[in-house]
Structure 1
Amino acid sequence: MDTENTDTENLDTQTSPDAAASLPDFESAARHVAELLDGIGDQQLKDPTPCPDYAVQELIAHLVGLTAAFRDAAGKSSGPNTDTAPDSARPELTPDWRTVLPRQLDELVAAWRAPEAWEGVTRVGGVTLPGGVAGRVGINELVIHGWDLARSTGQGYAADPASLGVSYGLLEPADAPGRGAIFGPPVDVPDDAPFLDRVIGLSGRDPRWTP
């Protein structure tokens, strides 16, 4: 999860009623992740991913953990899901992941449909930050790790423009949260490359990566 060192200064902590209708939505990003799961065979779980420390099974386990964490963050719920840093322990995949992850993706979407999820402050990954920032970080997590999972398992991936725009807004600034810590240095990508490739490059990944 990409929340460390988030700079919350000068960020709004309230969402006006007039802006509620235009809040980002998790549905497309979550659906793209869910659609990948049936295409993952058990024999692929130990295959490499663009995340150097994760095989496919750890990447899926990370998605299980982050969907629970961001779901609870939407409801301002404090506990192990929101207070534990993502790098505190190596994620371990449980046998029920094929049913747990789709359910949690649905719960995540529903939780962030509540306008109050975007208001005030919340906590996720052991970090306190504005709700509006947490929501955008959560969408970015799904976009980037969805690409990771698709590329690792030989599947297509077509993130929606709105979700890519959320990721771009987080990753493009030179002082983006986590730059040099969680995110590697941006990978140069041509200006006329597909939007997805440019976003992936900003996350420190090479869009040309293959297993």
Structure 2
Amino acid sequence: MFDLEPATDVMAALVRGVRDEQLTASTPCPQLTVGDLLDHVDGLSSAFTAAATKAPLDGGSQPPSADAARLGTEWRHRIPERLAALAVAWREDTAWRGMTKAGGLDLPADVAGAVAIDEIVVHGWDLAVATGQSFSCDTELLTAAYEFVKASAEQNPDGTPGLFGPPVEVPESAPLIERLIGLSGRDPRWVADPR
């Protein structure tokens, strides 16, 4: 069991720090703008809160989406609120036990928790570098995300469609965040377009 709040707090601060003119900027996620990524974070926050509570989402569990057109005007308030709810939901022991549903899939609850950690940590880094903000991560959560992605990369060395691209080679001597980012199919040296 992990406390997701350190990572959701970082993500919430990053969301609030996005400027309007950055919504159309590119991100380390191929084909996603900052606005698309924000919509994805919004959706995954609700989906993984539902996974923790084992409560069905309105409209059912859906595969992840990313569409800036769905953000609306209150996203700077709504997304941090949903991130806070996500952290609260995963504090319960029951969140980590049994089976649950996320992204249209049935999966063990502890695996859903690991996916939630990975999503918040990796997309936190994505959002930070895409918008020129600083990124930090709780060591325990960073390690959990790394172990999850490492196991996935070992099982799927060419990447996992819809989840991770093929790993980018990063030296073993690199900081853990860079090794995690590389395993997730991103280049840790990625630089945002100047705006």
* TM-score of the aligned structures, taking structure 2 as reference length: 0.91
Would you say 1:186 and 2:167 are equivalent positions? yes
Which AA in structure 2 matches 1:37? V
CA drift of 1:81 comes to: 6.3
| Equivalent residue, structure 1, for 2:49 | 71
**Cα distance in 2 between the residues matched to 1:101 and 1:155:** 17
Name the one with the larger helix percent: 2
Cα 1:177–1:59, aligned 2, differ >3 Å: closer, same or farther?
Answer: farther
Give the aligned residue type for 1:191: E
Deviation at 1:177, TM superposition (A): 10
1:205 aligns with 2:189: no
Quote the offset at 1:180 in angstroms.
Answer: 3.5
- For residues 37-73 of structure 1, the C-alpha deviation after alignment (integer angstroms, 9 at most, x for no partner) is 2321101110000111210001001100000000011
**2:144, 2:59 → 1: CA distance?**
23
Q: Deviations over 1:49-105 (max 9, x none)?
A: 011121000100110000000001111012346511114x74521211011011111
Residue 102 in 1 paired to residue 80 in 2? yes
1:44 is aligned to 2:25: no
Greater RCO, 1 or 2 (C-alpha within 8 Å, sep 6+): 1
Structure 2 residue 62 is the aligned partner of structure 1 residue 84? yes
Quick one: distance in 2 between partners of 1:81 and 1:132?
A: 24
**TM-score (norm: length of structure 1):** 0.84
Secondary structure of 1:32's counterpart equals: helix
1:175 corresponds to = 155
Q: Deviations over 1:133-153 (max 9, x none)?
A: 101100100000000000000
Distance in 2, Cα, partners of 1:43 & 1:28: 27
Verify the 8 A CA contact 1:122 1:134 in the aligned structure 2: yes
Aligned residues: 188
Change (3 A) 1:27 1:193: same
Q: 2:96 & 2:124 partners in 1: Cα distance?
A: 23
* % identical aligned pairs: 44
Question: What amino acid maps onto 1:195 in structure 2?
Answer: L
- CA 1:82–1:116 in structure 2 vs 1: closer, same or farther (change >3 Å)? farther
Code of the residue aligned with 1:190 in structure 2: it is P
- Alpha-carbon spacing, 1:180–1:103, altered in 2? closer, same or farther (3 Å): closer
- Across the aligned residues of Structure 1 and Structure 2, the Cα RMSD in angstroms comes to 1.7
In structure 1, the gaps of 5 or more residues are 1-22
